Amino acid sequence: MPRTADQDAVMPEDSQTQVRAAWLYYREGLTQAEIAARLKMTRLRVNRLLVEARSSGLVNITINSRLESCVRLEHALVETFGLKEAIVLPAPDDVEQVAAQIGKAAGEVLSRIVEEKPSGIVGVGWGGTLRETTRHVRAGQYRDLTVSSMMGGLTYGIELNTFEIAGRFAQLWQAECHYLAAPIYAGTPQSRDTILAQDVFEAAFARIRATDVAILSAGDLSERSFLVRYGLPRDVSPAELAEHGAVGDMLGQFIDSRGDPIDHSINRRAIALPLEGLRRIPTVILASGGKNKAAVIAAALRARLASVLITDEDAAAAALALHRG
Q: What percent of the chain has pLDDT over 90?
A: 75
What is the rounded average pLDDT for all residues in the chain? 90
- pLDDT higher than threshold 90 for residue 154: no
For residue 179, what are the contacts with CB-CB under 8 A and spacing of at least 6?
Answer: 149, 153, 162, 163, 166, 167
| Rounded (10°) CA dihedral 192, 194, 200, 204 | 30
Q: How far apart are CA 131 and CA 271, in angstroms?
A: 21
Q: Per-residue confidence at 258, pLDDT binned at 50, 70, 90?
A: very high
Domains assigned to the chain: 5-65 (1.10.10.10), 68-324 (3.40.50.1360)
> In degrees rounded to 5, what are phi and psi of residue 250?
-135, 135
Mean pLDDT of 36-48: 91
- pLDDT higher than threshold 60 for residue 6: no
Q: Which helix (H) or strand (E) holds 17?
A: helix 15-22
Tell me which of 89-93, 157-161, 182-186 is least confident.
Answer: 157-161
Check if the beta carbon of residue 65 is closer than 8 Å to that of residue 58: yes
Most confident of 24-28, 47-51, 175-179, 222-226: 175-179
The conformation of residue 178, written as its DSSP 8-state character, comes to E
> 246-281 as b/e, with b when 16 or more CB fall inside 10 Å?
bbbbbbbbbbbbebebbebebbbbbbbbebebbeeb
- CA dist 309 → 10, 116, 323 (Å): 25, 19, 15
- pLDDT higher than threshold 90 for residue 120: yes
> How far is the first Cα of the chain from the last one, in angstroms, to the nearest whole number?
47
- pLDDT higher than threshold 90 for residue 122: yes
> In degrees rounded to 5, what are phi and psi of residue 58?
-60, -40
pLDDT at 276: 97
Pairing of strands 145-149, 120-124: parallel
| Rounded (10°) CA dihedral 264, 285, 231, 299 | 30
Order of all β-strands in the sheet with 283-287: 85-89, 308-312, 283-287, 213-216, 120-124, 145-149, 176-178
- pLDDT higher than threshold 90 for residue 171: yes
Amino acid code (one letter) for 82: G
pLDDT at 64: 53
Amino acid code (one letter) for 289: G
Q: Write the pLDDT tens digit of every residue in 173-209.
A: 999 999 998 999 999 999 999 999 999 999 999 999 9
pLDDT at 86: 97
Report H helices in the chain: 5-8, 15-22, 32-39, 43-56, 67-81, 98-116, 128-134, 162-173, 189-196, 199-209, 226, 238-243, 265-269, 294-302, 313-324
- pLDDT higher than threshold 70 for residue 11: no
Largest CA distance in the chain: 66
Radius of gyration of the chain (CA): 20
Q: Per-residue confidence at 16, pLDDT binned at 50, 70, 90?
A: confident
Amino acid code (one letter) for 313: E
- pLDDT higher than threshold 90 for residue 67: no
- CA dist 229 → 39, 176, 234, 238 (Å): 38, 30, 11, 10
Q: What percent of the chain has pLDDT over 70?
A: 92
Q: Write the pLDDT tens digit of every residue in 274-325.
A: 999 999 999 999 999 999 999 999 999 999 999 999 999 999 999 999 999 8
Residue 127, classed as helix, strand or coil, is coil
Report the predicted TM-score, pTM, of the whole model to 2 decimal places: 0.80
